[in-house]
Each structure stands twice: as C-alpha cells, then as structure tokens.
Amino acid sequence: MMNGQVQDEVRRLAGLSDIRSAAERGAALTSLWPLTDAMMMGNDAKYAENLQVRESLVIAHALTGLDVTRADAEYVYEGADTIPGRPQDIVDALLAANDACDAAAAYRSQADPTVFADVAQALGATWNAEVAGDIADTIQQASQLAAGSAADEIVGNDAAGSDAAEQGTSSETRRVASVLAVYALAAATMLRQSDAGQAGTAGACAVLLSLNEWCDSVSLPRLFYSPQLLSQLLDARATNGDGVADVFVAVIAQAAEAEWEQHRTDVLWDPKEAKRQAKEADERRNKEELSAKFSK
C-alpha cells in the first residue's frame, strides 16, 4: 500500500467533491477539540454510547436479517442477555456486536492491529492467520500513509499561502480529506482481504469496527453506516477494474458527512436552549390555533 502510486491515488481521492464535502463537516467537528466545556464533554460521552448502540443494531440486523429495534439494542447495551418476547437470535447477535466493540477498544491502549482478529472472532467471522496478518499490515501501512499525507497537506497549504485562503480551504479540511482518502483505500483493501478469507458479512462488520478504532489514532472522527449504506459498501466489494476506489468513496464519504454533522450537532446540544426553543414553538403554535379559531 505504501508506494508512489498509492500516494498519488490518495491525493486524487482527497480532491474529489464527495471527499471534500465530507471533510468540511469533519473539520467543523474537529475544530471543537480538545473539548473543555463540561456540557460538551458530557454530550460527547453520550454520543459515544449512542454510537455503540446504533452500531450493534446495524450489525445484529446484518448478521440475522431480523428486525432489530432500537429498544432491543439499548436493552442489551445496558446488560440484558434475554428480552421477553424477542427472538434470542437477536439478543445473541447484539451481545456479539457489543463484545466486538469491546475487543476493538483494546487498540486504544496499545496500537497493535493484531487485536482486530479478536473483533472478527467475537462476531463469529473466520479470519485465518494469513488474512488476519494481511489486515494488520494494511492498518499499519494506512497509519504511515495517513501521517505522511496529512503532513504533505499541511506543508502544501503553507506553501500555497494566500491562494489557499482565497479558495477557502483550511489546512484542517485538507488534512481530514487526505486521511479520509486513506481510510477509503484501507477499507476497500481490508474488506476484500476479509472477503477472500470467506468471512462474509461478519468479517466486513469486523473491518468497519476496527477502522473506527484506527480513526481515533489518526484524529479522524468515527464513521457510522446505516443498513442501506452498509449494504452498498458490501456490494462494492464485487467491483472490478478501474474506478474501484471511487465506488467505495461514494459510500464512505456519504456516511462520513452525515455522521460528522450529527456528531457535531450532538456535542453542541444545549438542553436549556432546546427547552427554550420548544417553549417558543408551543407558544407560537397556541397563538396560531387561537388566531385560526377566532378568525372563523
């Protein structure tokens, strides 16, 4: 993955409109960091919990094909191992998804990509030693490529001077675009490596959970794939020929842009302001109803 052609491909992907649009949302989010406000820190902690609930729901649905509800995912996240009236297959899949999230979190304390084999195992995916090694190598190479690409963008932005400012492109937006391009290439490679090992949907979900932990290590906000986007990403594995990376980028950038916008909204949420706006909306609605009543 580390050669001149790959670096050129990262630059090309980073310049695509989909990546640039997502990077703008990402830079708006990372501009809030490091968080120091207690309210925003609390909101971010709630976001992280909510993200795991959503991830477990999507994974359980993908593994079982059953209708997994938000309530199912929340119950299991909070510690339930059975849910009255609900299929045990759903509960077991949710338990496995949460175990996989916990296994992936081991990467935070020690950036050793070999731990991601445990993520696959938690989901019941079969990564043999060769596949697990290939995926670990891809993660390591992606980290090197992300660091180099981000540094190149910062230097390039400094050299551009006023031109870059006139284009309205911040160094952080450029950095996020470059690292997201690396993510896209790594995702395409790892998904195919897992697929070559016949790990199926479980293996693909393990790849995406692993990449989210990797995102933290390179200061890229986490991504989330809805069932629809996950399905599109899985379909992209079958793409061959020129433009393979672009197919993955189309899905990944869409997921990134939506999630990063939501993450920023969640972090900035002010309960007092929300209550005030709700009260104003109620008062406005009451006035409109009274006005309509007396105008008859």
Please, which residues have CB within 8 angstroms of residue 129's CB and are 6 or more apart in sequence?
Answer: none
User: Phi and psi dihedrals of 124, rounded to 5?
Assistant: 85, 15
The DSSP code for 85 is: T
Q: Please count the other Cβ atoms lying within 10 Å of the Cβ belonging to residue 109.
A: 8
pLDDT confidence of residue 166: 40
Question: What's at 160, amino acid-wise?
Answer: A
Counting other chains too, the contacts that 248-252 makes at CB distance below 8 Å and 24 or more residues apart are: 248/184, 248/187, 248/188, 249/13, 249/16, 249/18, 249/19, 249/181, 249/184, 250/18, 251/225, 252/180, 252/183, 252/184, 252/187, 252/223
pLDDT confidence of residue 286: 87
pLDDT confidence of residue 168: 41
The pTM assigned to this predicted structure is: 0.89
> Which residues of the chain are modeled with pLDDT < 50?
162, 164-168
Q: How many CA atoms lie within 13 A of 228 on its CB side?
A: 2
User: Phi and psi dihedrals of 215, rounded to 5?
Assistant: -55, -45
- The Cα–Cα gap between 264 and 35 comes to 12
Q: Report in angstroms the alpha-carbon separations of 231 from 201, 226, 237, 248, 294.
A: 10, 8, 10, 12, 53
- The Cα–Cα gap between 62 and 189 comes to 21
- The Cα–Cα gap between 111 and 115 comes to 9
Q: Please count the other Cβ atoms lying within 10 Å of the Cβ belonging to residue 221.
A: 20
**Domains in the chain, start-ordered, CATH in brackets?**
4-294 (1.10.3290)
Question: What's at 215, amino acid-wise?
Answer: C
E-strand stretches of 157-276: none
Q: What is the pLDDT of residues 112-171, one digit of tens each?
A: 999 999 999 999 998 999 999 999 999 999 999 999 876 666 555 555 554 544 444 589
